[in-house]
Structure 1
Amino acid sequence: MSQTSLPVSPDRGASAAGAADAPARIRLIRPDDWHLHLRDGAVLRSVVMDSARQFGRAIIMPNLRPPVLTTEDARAYRERILSALRQACAETGEAPAFEPLMTLYLTDRTTPDEIRRASDCGFVHGVKLYPAGATTHSDAGVTDLLGRCRATLEAMQDCGMPLLVHGEVTDPEVDLFDREAVFIERVMQPLRQAFPALKVVFEHLTTADGAAYVTQAPGPIAATLTPQHLLYNRNALFKGGLRPHWYCLPVLKRETHRKALLEAATSGNPRFFLGTDSAPHPRGAKEQDCGCAGCYTARHAMALYATAFESVGRLDRLEAFASLHGPAFYGLEPNRGSLTLERVANPIPHDLPLGDEVVVPLAAGETLGWMSLDAE
């Protein structure tokens, strides 16, 4: 693919008239990533620095094999992440401060006692709901949330432990593009009625239905938004042929949904905040007859978000979305450091090292108009 400008929607031109007056640099309170996949082993060692260079903290997804089921599993995984970071720092001479915020993988067998242990430990910050079969490594997920997990959800509500949801039903009779809207009806609404004080994060929101629900729903609810869902609609999957590196779950939706998500992200509403869902997969695992889902965005995440916010003339609202709303919801202080974004041509590599293989990042071979400098 040749190097071109990032292909966002026609409304990107809305801010073109003011481009000459736009800042050459933006300094933000150091942001956080509230939805991140780091994997394990050699892959972890390859990707951890990409996130640490930009983000002060990240909510780490627990869908390893085997999954992170207990507080002790989370403790061990956290140490592996920090060890990989120390190794990367020794190799590069860098020393970014980065704190992994751990999560547990919710199953039909997760106990209230385990929730209480996680709440007391200080390093587990959420419990992840994967409906069984919804996405990568979700085969151990929940089969009946209110039927099998009611006591566990009660403990989470009592402890103030957030439930982080992959918001899609897995019913094969439901169209792939409708699964988020049906999840709201079948799962979210009954869940909120049964546990109105439970903190819920609707992760990687993809539809106008979801944005409207999170905006209007009572109680402590929020949503993360990915760069790919703010920048692309489902046409990106098929531009010039089938493009597997734009395939993620939940899948990209219609342009009307993309615009609704971008409006939510840039609205200033504190219920919406940054979560990349960056998910590294080897090129060969994506480029095959049954390729896996996930977009790798960690290396250039903040440049992607800046591109999205600039497309509607709202760069002034990027800091709140990236650096303030998430900590407020999770009950944490904003980071003390800062991150600077510079307006400069930023060619995205065609591939990046991933253990013994390579990963193709989102927008590979294209050029962004922003680049993040090392965090301070």
Structure 2
Amino acid sequence: MTTLTLRRPDDWHLHLRDGAMLAAVLPETTRHFARAIIMPNLVPPVVRGTDAAAYRARILAALPKGSPFTPLMTLYLTEDTDPDDVAAAHASGLITAVKLYPAGATTNSASGVTDFDKVRGVLDRMAEIGLPLCIHGEVTSPEVDIFDREQVFLDTVLDPLRRATPGLTVTLEHITTSHGIDYVSDATGKIAGTITTHHLMINRNHILAGGIRPHYYCLPVAKRNTHQQALRRAATSGNPRFFLGTDSAPHTDPNKLSACGCAGCFTATNTLSCLAHVFEEEEALDRLEGFTSLHGPAHYGLPPNDATLTLTKQASPVPYPTQIATDEGPVTLFDPGHPLFWQVT
């Protein structure tokens, strides 16, 4: 197979930031994706419906001319979130989901949740109105090893949360472990999981073996090769509970390469080439459309896109740039570590 036509993909987990960074990175997503779930962890965070409306307006103003891209907005769940405000934002069509960050789990998550009982009223209302909850699935207790945080979260937070609110629709985002894959595969109820481009292509050896490579550092951090292989099996299985959420997260090089470097991999530009490479290796190119374009809309109750795009396998590598220029500084593009031959044509 040297050509593959897909319904236009969606990205179910995307960081666009704001200001100059937003203006620079947004075209990298809109080139290939029709819709994206927009993460709300700005400074200050997007916590109210009015915040989401203002952020959406800034995104639309930054769109390339003629782009049909649709940002799917989210609210940042805090212990002070008003259930009525959430319900009103959902009823108006403004938001597609609410995002739960355990406090301190990742970039700009200080306003997240510490006491999950304090958000019970919001979760109950969300279950009642059918509004999905997107979850960063890690505990933040200092005694828990960073490589075990996802597994511990499943047992101590996610399962009790879902048992307490059984009607809640949940997306376990950026799964990094076989434990997360097994949980989503086997659970009853309305649950799905996103898998990132970079977690399909790297494991923790890529970050640490032979020297520290900051541009591979992300949260949740990449795990052992055995977990990477579990992610690849799930993504290419055709199981509708798994779909693409790139978690593409731009940081300028000075912020990535500092003494306390930021977490995040910027993959918006070359994601589809990377995914075609992975799915070809797994002999599952016929299942790529489900992962990128069909399973996500079904989970969120949206129709798949009518438009299509075509991937063509070239004889020579696709010439992706090393960096994206922004007015805040350069952002390094995720490097898969080998040439990519599939190009969107």
**What TM-score comes out, normalization by structure 1 length?**
0.89
AA aligned to 1:371 is: Q
Is the counterpart of residue 352 in structure 1 residue 324 in structure 2?
Answer: yes
Instruction: Report how far residue 114 of structure 1 moved.
Output: 1.3
User: What are the superposed Cα offsets for residues 76-114 of structure 1, whole Å, 9 maximum, x if unpaired?
Assistant: 1001001000xx33xxxxx33100000000000011101
Contact kept, 8 Å, 2:274 with 2:336, in 1: the verdict is no
User: What are the superposed Cα offsets for residues 102-138 of structure 1, whole Å, 9 maximum, x if unpaired?
Assistant: 0000000011101211211112000000000000000
Instruction: Report how far residue 364 of structure 1 moved.
Output: 7.2
Unaligned runs of 5+ in 2: none
Instruction: Report how far residue 365 of structure 1 moved.
Output: 7.8
| Structure of greater relative contact order (alpha carbons < 8 Å, 6+ residues apart) | 1
User: What is the alpha-carbon distance in structure 2 between the residues aligned to residue 33 and residue 187 of structure 1?
Assistant: 26
Is 331-340 or 236-245 further displaced after alignment? 236-245
Is 293-302 or 362-371 further displaced after alignment? 362-371
Task: Give the CA RMSD over aligned residues.
Answer: 1.1
User: What is the alpha-carbon distance in structure 2 between the residues aligned to residue 123 and residue 268 of structure 1?
Assistant: 31
Number of residues of Structure 1 aligned to a counterpart in Structure 2? 343
Instruction: Report how far residue 366 of structure 1 moved.
Output: 4.9
Instruction: Report how far residue 369 of structure 1 moved.
Output: 1.6
User: What is the alpha-carbon distance in structure 1 between the residues aligned to residue 206 and residue 336 of structure 2?
Assistant: 13
Is the counterpart of residue 124 in structure 1 residue 106 in structure 2?
Answer: no
Q: 1:321 aligns to what SS in structure 2? A: helix
Contact kept, 8 Å, 1:265 with 1:273, in 2: the verdict is yes
Is the counterpart of residue 307 in structure 1 residue 285 in structure 2?
Answer: no
User: What is the alpha-carbon distance in structure 2 between the residues aligned to residue 256 and residue 239 of structure 1?
Assistant: 16
User: What are the superposed Cα offsets for residues 157-179 of structure 1, whole Å, 9 maximum, x if unpaired?
Assistant: 00101110000000000000000
Instruction: Report how far residue 280 of structure 1 moved.
Output: 0.4
1:114 alignment counterpart? 85
User: What is the alpha-carbon distance in structure 2 between the residues aligned to residue 157 and residue 363 of structure 1?
Assistant: 40
Instruction: Report how far residue 315 of structure 1 moved.
Output: 0.6
Instruction: Report how far residue 323 of structure 1 moved.
Output: 0.4
**Match for 2:52 among 63, 69, 74?**
74
Is the counterpart of residue 338 in structure 1 residue 316 in structure 2?
Answer: no
AA aligned to 2:107 is: T
2:16 alignment counterpart? 38
Contact kept, 8 Å, 2:195 with 2:231, in 1: the verdict is yes
Instruction: Report how far residue 348 of structure 1 moved.
Output: 3.0
2:73 alignment counterpart? 102
Q: 2:334 aligns to what SS in structure 1? A: coil
User: What are the superposed Cα offsets for residues 10-29 of structure 1, whole Å, 9 maximum, x if unpaired?
Assistant: xxxxxxxxxxxxx2211100
User: What is the alpha-carbon distance in structure 2 between the residues aligned to residue 127 and residue 52 of structure 1?
Assistant: 22
Instruction: Report how far residue 238 of structure 1 moved.
Output: 2.3
User: What are the superposed Cα offsets for residues 237-287 of structure 1, whole Å, 9 maximum, x if unpaired?
Assistant: 024421000000000000110011111111111100010000000000001
Contact kept, 8 Å, 1:233 with 1:254, in 2: the verdict is yes
**After the TM superposition, which residues 1-376 of structure 1 pair with which residues of structure 2 at under 5 Å, given as runs?**
23-85=1-63, 88-89=64-65, 95-145=66-116, 147-344=117-314, 345-363=317-335, 366-373=338-345
User: What is the alpha-carbon distance in structure 2 between the residues aligned to residue 269 and residue 365 of structure 1?
Assistant: 28
Q: 2:325 aligns to what SS in structure 1? A: strand
Q: 1:320 aligns to what SS in structure 2? A: helix
AA aligned to 1:179 is: R
1:4 alignment counterpart? none
User: What is the alpha-carbon distance in structure 2 between the residues aligned to residue 239 and residue 276 of structure 1?
Assistant: 24
AA aligned to 2:70 is: E
**Moved beyond 4 Å, runs of 4+:** none
Q: 1:149 aligns to what SS in structure 2? A: helix
User: What is the alpha-carbon distance in structure 2 between the residues aligned to residue 365 and residue 237 of structure 1?
Assistant: 12
